Amino acid sequence: MNIDQLIARFPEIPPAVRGDARLARYAEVFDRWLRVAREPSPCALERNAANHCYLKLVSPLAVLKWGLSTPERALVDVEALIVRYQDDPAAFEAWLIPEGTVDREVRGPGCG
């Protein structure tokens, strides 16, 4: 995945970080997980693999739109994720998608 594909898939990633080389590397390294990542429903009782990918890979960037982080802090976090993956890909994947993750997102009563 390149940075343009990343932004098209996740427009919630703010412009302040879009031109950074670290984000381009992030898109490349996490391509397979970013392609399936999906924001969980607000009423999710159990999250599937796509939800975990979104929460752990995309959320650190998405929180910028609410002013809960700074662009530099978010990019440092992106770099840390890359290093964590490179240091031990198997451990990273186990952290990213925990054992026992359900196949489908489970929503609470009254959710569509």
Alpha helices in 1-112 (DSSP H): 3-9, 15-18, 21-29, 31-34, 49-53, 59-62, 71-87, 89-96
Please tell me the pTM assigned to this model: 0.87
Q: Which residues share a beta bridge with 48?
A: 102
pLDDT digits (tens, 9 = 90+) for 45-99: 778 889 999 999 999 898 888 888 899 999 999 999 999 999 999 999 999 998 9
Determine the pLDDT at residue 46: 79
Per-domain boundaries in the chain: 3-105
